Structure 1
Amino acid sequence: MRPALHFTATSGWINDPHGVTYRDGQYHAFYQYVPGQTVWGPNCHWGHAAGPDLLSLRELPVAIVPGDGDDGIWTGCVVTDDEDNTRAFYTSTTTPDFGIGRIRVATPVDDDWLAWSKDEFVVEAPADLDLIAYRDPFVRREETGWRMFVGGALRDGTAVALSYISDDLQHWTYSGIALQRSTAETEPVWMGALWECPQILSIDGRAIMVSSIWDNDVLHYAGYAVGSYNDGRFVADNWGRLTFGDSYYAPSLFSDSEGRPCLLFWMRGIADEQAEWASAHSIPYLLSLDDDRLVASVHPDVEKHRGGRAESVRVEGTAADVVWSDGEGGELTIASTEAVVSILWKPGEATVVERTAHALNTTCSVPVSGAVRVVIDGPILELSSAGGLLGLPTDLGGTSLQIAADRGDVELFALS
């Protein structure tokens, strides 16, 4: 079953979203794409989709393909300067040793960004660091020019975000390690041995680094640091975990149509092997800070896809938006002809349990604070509150959903 609102490719494998850009009234989203198969492979392409919001994306021709010195076109970012010149910075990999990539530039050859021309390699891994992984450039503008961060892993188990500076987006100078943490450190949260896609932003005068947490070829979750940043150096005051469950990975930072900081995730475990497609992208999330805690809230664009508030516990179709205000414990049940999902809320935590006719399929938990928001879209469930995010595949299917809680207030809307 294919979700109605979450982006999936017509066929093939997708993962990391990146280069999400709002321009001329629509969003462009790029992503790692492996055509012709439903499992990941190192020969990634840059897929491309666009639409008026991130729940209305249409798939476009592949933007950048392997060849000309690239065996794989891996994650990167898209930047437009003051003269409206656009560049894609991506990780160029070669097999079989694709752990250490190189950063290369491509430029669009048309106004719709449908075709791209590859340019030179602009950044390589520093020779004086004992790196076992190096990839995922993120470029942002700073007061003195441009700054690039690249994720890395040192052989001793230290995750690093490496820093580069440029005046013209073409010539880059390595300026050291912006932030690092050992995989041996576990409190208040473990941050892995490699940061994939490390991205640094500012909210309310505080600096935030958000990243994917990787260790020994295992993909874990999205984590973050909150602290201060100055001239290429980040000092962390607090570390936190943003996502829970086994689905969310590869958070991609972007600015929405109003310039607000947002994230989009790759969602694992969503697939239809018979239809020959695998993986999806999440709904967009708006970022804010609550003291030293990073909060991701459902983006207002989701509400544009709501119908009127449901007057009963039943919604037609398999896409719904639920706001559950409780806080004292209770159970929210989402039922279809194929499965029943129960969300068990006790103070500070929600646990999601899915049952089908055959078995108990899924049990996972997430910290909660304040109201709980649940977005269901066919085979995808996303649960969010100020305490964190939980995304997971489900077996919900059929033609309608029955949604009710034994306690608290529930607002229920069909989505389309």
Structure 2
Amino acid sequence: MRPELHFTPTSGWVNDPYGVTWRDGRYHLFFQHVPGSLVWDVAQHWGHAVSDDLVHWTEQPVVLAPDDADGGIWSGTVVDANVGRMFYTSVAVDAPDLGTVQEARPTDDTWTAWKKVDGAVVPLPDDLDLVQLRDPFVLHDGTSWRMVVGAGLSDGTAAALSWTSDDLEGWTYAGVLTSRRDADRDPVWTGTAWECPQLLRVDDAWVLVVSVWSEGHTRYVAAAVGDLVGDRFEARSWQRLTHGAHYASSAFRDADGRPCLIHWLRGVADLEAGWAGAHSVPHVLGLAGDRVVLSPHPAVADRTVKDGDRTVLVDGPVVEVFGPDGVAGYVLTP
């Protein structure tokens, strides 16, 4: 049951991928991991894997684990390939919805060992009635470093909050980057909270990718194309980006600078072999007007076949399908 082209853990549980970084001639991947478990648990660790080609991954030792200061090490990001900064969500076991953003730094050049930095990285806003906060994503927006964090408000509004920094050290709250209400259904519903918000430049526009969450359930991935105006993201369009197993999209630039996404694939497992969870192959982002289009990364494009007007990647128990409109691959797990 273990696929050849889709990353799976040697053993244990895996969900969200993040922090894909091209550094010193190879890629680093970090991911949510529960060693010794075949089901999700609050006590998430940060796993680590490396690859030369974005397809074949070699798992490394766990780099972050819960301790007395945090009950779970949840999703985040890695920035600054020259020095290395991890920004992650620390959660309490009895109240995981409202996390705090924490930082870790590498203790060696191989990135196999990291040390947590004491203290919360960003101050929480006191003007919002937050019921959910997690999953920092950090980028340079051309003016300053910007951290985007997923959130949910008590009135059912899903939001992305942002902070800015000149040096990745001190962070200033910049307000609500953008938000949508639970009642907003046209052209797509985007839930009551956003997980794993990813903001990146694609061609001449900004794209915001969010994982839609509501009532304790992971739903699907949505995307907006728009403009970054000061500290606000002004969407020109919204769309559903995935169907099926894809969730928790993570954005990165490959070795050639292409904007890419990788996803968690839900429901892929071999319980008898002792592992649960997988990651998608990398997808490349493009634009068709104000619509996001996804296609297989060149690293796997030669392994795809045409099925009518769809592009299909078959890899053992996983089938990724890129529809004719280019919107993110449908995933089947036969």
Q: How far off its partner does 1:68 sit?
A: 4.5
Q: How far off its partner does 1:142 sit?
A: 2.5
Q: How far off its partner does 1:386 sit?
A: 4.5
Matches within 5 A, 1:128-207: 128-207=127-206
1:266-302 per-position Cα deviation (integer Å, ceiling 9, x unaligned): 0001011111110100010000000111001000001
2:121 alignment partner, SS class: strand
1:41 alignment partner, SS class: coil
Among 383, 393, 412, which residue is 2:321 paired with?
A: 383
**TM-score, reference length from structure 2:** 0.96
Identity rate, percent? 49
Q: What amino acid sits opposite 1:50 in the alignment?
A: V
**1:317 matched to which residue of 2?**
none
Alignment pair present for 1:110 and 2:108:
yes
**1:212 matched to which residue of 2?**
211
**2:11 matched to which residue of 1?**
11
CA distance in 2, matches of 1:40, 1:125: 27
Matches within 5 A, 1:331-350: none
Matches within 5 A, 1:192-341: 192-245=191-244, 247-303=245-301, 321-324=304-307, 326=308
CA distance in 2, matches of 1:208, 1:225: 6
CA distance in 1, matches of 2:87, 2:57: 22
Q: What amino acid sits opposite 1:295 in the alignment?
A: V
CA distance in 2, matches of 1:231, 1:152: 20
Runs of 4+ in 1 over 4 A off after TM superposition: none
1:99 alignment partner, SS class: strand
Task: Answer 1 or 2: higher relative contact order, Cα 8 Å, separation at least 6.
Answer: 2
Aligned partners of 1:26 and 1:52 also within 8 Å: yes
CA distance in 1, matches of 2:143, 2:288: 29
RMSD of aligned Cα (Å):
1.2
Which consecutive unaligned segments of at least 5 residues does structure 1 have? 307-319, 327-370, 395-416
1:100 alignment partner, SS class: strand
1:77-116 per-position Cα deviation (integer Å, ceiling 9, x unaligned): 00117xx221000001111001000000000111110000
CA distance in 2, matches of 1:143, 1:383: 34
2:97 alignment partner, SS class: coil
Larger Rg: 1
Aligned partners of 1:297 and 1:386 also within 8 Å: no
Which consecutive unaligned segments of at least 5 residues does structure 2 have? none
1:40 alignment partner, SS class: coil
Aligned partners of 2:225 and 2:238 also within 8 Å: yes
CA distance in 1, matches of 2:141, 2:208: 15
**TM-score, reference length from structure 1:** 0.78
Q: How far off its partner does 1:207 sit?
A: 1.4
